Amino acid sequence: MADFGAGWLYIRYLADRYGSSITNRLEATNKVGAANVAAVTGVPFDSTATRWALSNWVAAQAGFTARPPELADTAGHLPRLFALFHNLDPTDFRLAYPLVPQTASGTGVHLAGILHGGSGWYVRVLQGPGAAAFSLLFNDSTRAVAKAVAPRLDVIRVR
């Protein structure tokens, strides 16, 4: 069910950006998957998928008005929907918005876990004004530099 929900959210994002007729345009081609999305939108799939993933978090950030337009949830779907679900059924929908990134701070941030193909990992690194820079290193489970994957990193400054 989660895959269907994510698919619906992605198509909803595309409809907000490229018009409600996008579903018809996607069905009117002989292409499938990522190639179809790229052909219909004129934007590489990894760009629309990355912007969509980031917009999922940015959409619920109250007072965050400096967002690029491609990250705005123009129809306000996610915050409103999840708040409604939470109000109707707080047992199954414990949070008013379910995407709560891990938070880390300092120059020695270490996060471990599994990043499944096609998914994202949201982390909020808190750093004070004038704090030392930090580096990001992607390792595999043996702590060797990850070479089998090409992780994509998106950074958005909140303040």
Tens of pLDDT, residue by residue over 92-140, are 989 888 888 888 776 666 777 776 666 677 888 888 788 777 777 667 6
Residue 33, domain extent = 2-99
Same domain, 95 and 108: no
Whether 15 and 22 have beta carbons less than 8 Å apart is answered as yes
Percent of the chain with pLDDT over 70: 69
CA distance 48 to 55: 10
Q: Any residues with CB less than 8 A from the CB of 116 and at least 6 apart, and which?
A: none
Same domain, 93 and 158: no
Same domain, 118 and 74: no
Same domain, 10 and 66: yes
Q: Say if residue 52's pLDDT is above 90.
A: no
Same domain, 91 and 150: no
Same domain, 94 and 115: no
- What are the pLDDT digits (tens) for 73-96? 555 667 888 889 999 999 998 988
113 torsion bin: left (phi>0), alpha (psi -120 to 50), beta (else): left
Same domain, 115 and 83: no
Same domain, 135 and 92: no
Same domain, 74 and 123: no
Q: Which pLDDT score, from 0 to 100, does residue 150 have? A: 62
Same domain, 49 and 121: no
pTM above 0.75, yes or no: no
Domain count, the chain: 2
Give the residue from 99, 114, 133 where a domain finishes.
99
The residue among 96, 90, 65, 91 whose CA lies nearest residue 78 is: 96
Q: Which pLDDT score, from 0 to 100, does residue 140 have? A: 66
